[in-house]
Structure 1
Amino acid sequence: MIVVRRNMVIACPLDEVVAYLEDFGRTEQWDPGTVRCVRVDEGPVRPGSTWRNTSHFRGRTSDLLYRLETRDPARLVFVGKNSTVTATDDMRFEARSPAVTELTYVGSLRFHGLAKLATPFLRAEFERLGDGVTERLPAAVAQYCR
């Protein structure tokens, strides 16, 4: 399994950060690997809501079906699956002040079948993607909060 952990400080109140990030369709704005992310179901975002995420990685495009597994006031967990990989985005939030939120983002990938063999060779590229999230996500959320 590959695990990427990043801490970010976001100039936005905690509840607004969570409100922005609970709509996984917004990953297009902050995840450098996401090409497209579209909500599959309807209604308010809640545990069980699903999105089809198309990502581009190492010259290939893949689709994962993501589901919001946990939606707490200070935590969001999304799990995406296809036949090759299970991806988990675990986001924990802590208010540093009324207008500043610290986000601990943990992304993990568990490859299935023969794809498991590639795990050691992909770690560095996923770390690079984690760096891209760290660069883009705080600005995307802060723009939403304005």
Structure 2
Amino acid sequence: MIIVERDIVLPVTLDEAVSYLEDFRRTEHWDPGTVRCVRIDQGSIRPGATWRNTSRFRGRTTDLLYRLEIRDPEHLVFVGTNKSVTATDDMRFEARPGETLLKYQASLRFKGLAKLATPFLRAEFEALADKVAQRLPSAVAERHD
């Protein structure tokens, strides 16, 4: 399994940060690997809400079905799956005066033969996490829809 972690300061209140990030379709604005992300169910965003996320990595495009597993006032967890990987985005929020500290952890558990590539992909996922940490504060501040 690959786990990458970043502490990211967001220039908005905790409520604004959680409200923005709970809608996973917005990954298009802050995750450089996401090509497209579309909500596939309806209603309010709640545990069980689902999105189809199309990502590009190493020149290949893949789809994952993401589900919101945890939605608490200071904690969001999304789990994405397909036949070769389970991806988990775990976001913990801490209010600060005029801003929010996001403790972001992304983990990838590869399945089948894809497991063999795990040791060789860590550096690329670390670089991707650095890009997320750079893009996320401005995306949240601009609150793209």
- Normalized against structure 1, the TM-score is what? 0.97
Counterpart of 2:113 in structure 1 is 114
Counterpart of 1:13 in structure 2 is 13
| Separation of aligned partners in 2, 1:10 and 1:60 | 31
| Separation of aligned partners in 2, 1:30 and 1:50 | 19
Counterpart of 1:51 in structure 2 is 51
| Separation of aligned partners in 2, 1:36 and 1:144 | 17
Runs of 4+ in 1 over 2 A off after TM superposition: none
Alignment of 1:27-106 (within 5 A): 27-97=27-97, 99-106=98-105
| Separation of aligned partners in 1, 2:10 and 2:39 | 25
Counterpart of 2:25 in structure 1 is 25
| RMSD, matched Cα | 0.9
| AA aligned opposite 2:9 | V
- Normalized against structure 2, the TM-score is what? 0.98
How many residue pairs get matched? 144
Residue identity (%): 71
| Separation of aligned partners in 2, 1:132 and 1:84 | 24
| Separation of aligned partners in 1, 2:106 and 2:44 | 25
| AA aligned opposite 1:109 | L
| AA aligned opposite 1:123 | R
| Separation of aligned partners in 1, 2:56 and 2:79 | 18
